[in-house]
Structure 1
Amino acid sequence: MDARSTTLLVIGGGPGGYVAAIRAAQLGIATTLVEGDKLGGTCLNVGCIPSKAMIHAAEQFEHACHCAQNSPLGIRVESPRIELAQTVRWKDGIVARLTGGVAALLKKNGVTVVNGWARVIDGKTVEVTTGAGPDALRIGCDHLLLAPGSQAVALPAMPFGGRVISSTEALAPEALPKRLVVVGAGYIGLELGTAYRKLGAEVAVVEALERVLPAYDDELAKPVAGSLRRLGVQLHLGCTVQGLSASGDGVRIRNAQGEESALPADQVLVAVGRRPRTDGFGLETLMLDMNGRAVRIDEQCRTSMRNVWAIGDVTGEPMLAHRAMAQGEMVAEVIAGRRRRFTPAAIPAVCFTDPELVVVGRTPPEAAQAGLDCLSAIFPFAANGRAMTLEAGDGFVRVVARRDNHLIVGWQAVGRGVSELSAVFSHSIEMGERLEDTAGTIHAHPTLGEAVQEAALRALGHALHV
């Protein structure tokens, strides 16, 4: 058996793993990264990036269809059509460029990349099965970093296969289904369900709770629900899935009253969440402390075993690529001897629905639950000039601040393009801004960002444009 050693061994080449490897190598740490599939992980290959590409393509197609009917802008086009195979090739091209860029960065910084499937032997030893031969490669290390990511959750009554797909298959369609049933009204289900509807499929969404985006407060979710209805998406809220129909071409659902019905489906997208990937690579041999299915970590991403670290989705919620990246960078610096802790004031969460939704820090209900006496204020995009010129008057920006000293503890927004406001929201909270700071900062006109200043002004009692 071939054997080698390294200072840091990273299992998983997703956003957390490859960022940790690059930063460690920059700091002079001998680093080896093991990835069994493709560099970039779920995010670059079958998650964040391809989903946003498909969403953009769907939006462009819907806009063209809108212009073919009765655009108020005076734009007229012939009836458009979409060549789905070309759309998928375009999406795949973006993914290939980004994953190729990751590989180049790892090589440039001197990271040793091993393509193969890792299995943990102990906290200092990992065996890797590669395609190079029947024998495994054994790698010894001083530090072991676990970054295996997460995987889609399947329904026991409707396992993946055949008509039942996960987001992975939904992002590489060979053809557009006539009728798509989406199980789960969280951000993944709604992002992809909306895209499929804009591309021309009939879409029905089934959700066990009584509203869409149940992880977010109702005020934020309402504009998204309204948009879904305008698009013609059928919403079956407060309903549970019982399984496929006997013929296999429908989904049996049951409402709160116990009444059963069937929804016709050429394809069923199950999007009920993701869970940490803890099986299949020998994690159990380490006997680490766990939080349910997630690996328990401290503020430096240390596990309960010395010099074994864990980052990203395997450590539980929030399962966000940017969280994993920040954790990976920090772990590399801690191993290099720097004093760092992972204690962000807020981690932004974005839903690329229609309209988009962004949450940073505490919402009003969360602030109240934490015992904080807060005030909040909303500025609607209907009063924002830039939003009107973009035909994007739906939605708002909301600020949450302590009543006693006006310290800002949360920002939320729903509307077109608000994902780009997430950076200014995060910066505001990390820097300890108060309402007076935001209100007194000149914001460019006309921009969507003016709604940020106006929300702060309104919270102070003297909004200018509403």
Structure 2
Amino acid sequence: MKDISCKLLVIGAGPGGYVCAIRAGQLGIDTVIVEAGKPGGTCLNIGCIPSKALIHAAEEYEKIAHWAEHQSPLGIATAKPVLDFAKTVAWKDGIVGRLNGGVSGLLKKAHVKVVQGWAKFRDGKTVEVETETGLQVIRAENVVIATGSAPVMLPTLPFGGPVISSAEALSLSEVPDRLVVVGGGYIGLELGTAFAKLGAKVTVVEAQARILPQYDTELTQPVAKRLRQLGVEVLTGAAAAGLDQVNSALVIKTSESKEARLPADKILVTVGRRPVTDGWGLDQLVLDMDGRFIRIDDKCRTSMRGIYAIGDVTGEPMLAHRAMAQGEMVAEIVAGHPRSWDKRTIPAVCFTDPEIVAVGIGPDEAREKGVETKVGIFPFSANGRAMTKLGEQGFVRVVARADNHLVLGVQAVGQGISEMAAAFSLAIEMGARLEDIAGTIHAHPTQGEGFQEAALKALGHGLHI
């Protein structure tokens, strides 16, 4: 097989990798991308997209099931729904398939050469790829490592049999009667909530003192309340100790060192993700590391000239939109454009019920940094649009400097609040002050009014509270 030479080689066609390759192609850079699986990576194939499809299906099913058992204030009467989970999964797979095709089409449109197979470094400029038709050697002036991440496996609960990762959870053939989720972070709670709505008896086991520890308590309280309403049992301060195969149960140890068994048909382990640094020849390179992650600077450059790294393999926050932004930037740097990396306005979204959005810093972090702040909170219980959607749970919170009112962070929890993430990020990115948000006319009636009202509250003259 003839060797390939190119200006830019991208290893991994996940969100960061394919965006990098597409942008490079648009800029006229001779680009090759290598991917062992389907284009789109974890996010498109076994993560963000299929999980949101499942979450939406679960929401629709739960609404009908709820009103079949309880009298609806909307005056809607309905029969108990029947779930054909195979059709649900097929619908989810159809969405993934269309997006796979879309990414492939965009790469082709940008004149990016796609090599299917597993890449491995020979040296800093040469990669060999095991393809179906033989060994392909690629030589590149610049290389982008975008190998992503994989679920963390607990030594006491290796994957297999009833113990599954998020990938397997999204491909189950039926809804398990009893599901135990190990890990109360965003992945575990998103999927756990969805399966609870689909009819599973769900128990969440979290080693720390509370769920969603990456968010402050004020944001997570509405989520905890909703979990209770859905019948989800949450056990905090409890650790998974192993599998009791005889009794089909998860063995846990509580903070009091007591042992208990939780019957389970499936045990979903969601205790984090690890960077994929094995199998592609890291030992052939001399890269500085931050633990298991590849160390990068504000331009995503590694310690080796001409080698960049983007996305989950470079550490937190391990988010698809972070990887995309990095990929676009690196492509422009290779094309000679002046670019740098600023992560202050990366939104973190948790698709629980209700959803959580956090951008910038919260009140606790500001306090730790010694910054005096003004904080404004507006509850959705006072928002007309939220009330008409039965979505009164939650609020919008704005955090700004006390001296000049510069907005430092925006956090919110509420029904469908993920769609406000861009507005929150834009405000911080553009250097908005409380007066800018308060003075911007927000359409009525919308949940977005909560953003303006929170700013008004921080200024001391909230109108609707």
Q: Report the TM range for the smaller structure's normalisation.
A: over 0.9
Conservation of the 8 A alpha-carbon contact between 2:247 and 2:263: no
In structure 1, the partner of 2:271 is 272
- Kindly indicate whether residue 447 of structure 2 is the aligned counterpart of residue 428 of structure 1: no
Question: Offset at 1:284?
Answer: 2.1
Distance in 1, matches of 2:434 and 2:271, equals: 38
1:274-333 per-residue CA deviation (whole Å, 9 max, x = no partner) reads 011101111121020000000000010000000000000000000000000000000000
Structure 1 residue matching 2:387: 3-state secondary structure = helix
Distance in 1, matches of 2:245 and 2:97, equals: 41
Conservation of the 8 A alpha-carbon contact between 1:151 and 1:275: yes
- Kindly indicate whether residue 129 of structure 2 is the aligned counterpart of residue 128 of structure 1: yes
TM-score by length of 1: 0.99
Distance in 1, matches of 2:377 and 2:323, equals: 31
Question: Offset at 1:345?
Answer: 3.1
The range that moved more, 199-208 or 282-291, is 282-291
In structure 2, the partner of 1:281 is 280
Distance in 2, matches of 1:223 and 1:83, equals: 30
Question: Offset at 1:248?
Answer: 5.4
Distance in 1, matches of 2:66 and 2:257, equals: 40
The range that moved more, 323-332 or 64-73, is 64-73
Partner amino acid, structure 1, of 2:388? T
Structure 2 residue matching 1:136: 3-state secondary structure = strand
Partner amino acid, structure 2, of 1:404? D
Conservation of the 8 A alpha-carbon contact between 1:344 and 1:430: no
In structure 1, the partner of 2:87 is 86
Question: Offset at 1:176?
Answer: 1.1
RMSD over aligned CA atoms reads: 0.8
1:135-171 per-residue CA deviation (whole Å, 9 max, x = no partner) reads 3111100001100000000000000000000000101
Instruction: Please list, as runs of the form range in 1=range in 2, the aligned pairs for 1:359-438 lying within 5 A after superposition.
Output: 359-438=358-437
Structure 2 residue matching 1:216: 3-state secondary structure = coil
Question: Offset at 1:68?
Answer: 1.1
Task: Give the 4+ runs in structure 1 shifted more than 6 A.
Answer: none
Partner amino acid, structure 1, of 2:108? K
Structure 1 residue matching 2:8: 3-state secondary structure = strand
Point out where structure 2 has 5 or more consecutive residues left out of the alignment. Answer: none
In structure 2, the partner of 1:97 is 98
Conservation of the 8 A alpha-carbon contact between 2:434 and 2:455: yes
Distance in 2, matches of 1:340 and 1:381, equals: 39
1:243-295 per-residue CA deviation (whole Å, 9 max, x = no partner) reads 11151500011111111110000000000000111011111210200000000
Instruction: Please list, as runs of the form range in 1=range in 2, the aligned pairs for 1:270-349 lying within 5 A after superposition.
Output: 270-349=269-348
In structure 2, the partner of 1:26 is 26
Distance in 2, matches of 1:51 and 1:284, equals: 34
Distance in 1, matches of 2:46 and 2:98, equals: 14
TM-score by length of 2: 0.99
In structure 1, the partner of 2:54 is 54
Distance in 1, matches of 2:187 and 2:76, equals: 32
Structure 2 residue matching 1:236: 3-state secondary structure = strand
- Kindly indicate whether residue 45 of structure 2 is the aligned counterpart of residue 45 of structure 1: yes
In structure 1, the partner of 2:114 is 113
Distance in 2, matches of 1:215 and 1:341, equals: 27
Conservation of the 8 A alpha-carbon contact between 2:149 and 2:273: yes
In structure 1, the partner of 2:183 is 184
- The aligned length equals 464
Structure 2 residue matching 1:54: 3-state secondary structure = helix
Point out where structure 1 has 5 or more consecutive residues left out of the alignment. Answer: none
In structure 2, the partner of 1:76 is 77
Distance in 1, matches of 2:389 and 2:236, equals: 31
In structure 2, the partner of 1:216 is 215
Partner amino acid, structure 1, of 2:194? A
In structure 1, the partner of 2:136 is 137
Distance in 1, matches of 2:109 and 2:343, equals: 30
Distance in 2, matches of 1:354 and 1:443, equals: 25
Using the aligned pairs only, state the percent identity.
62
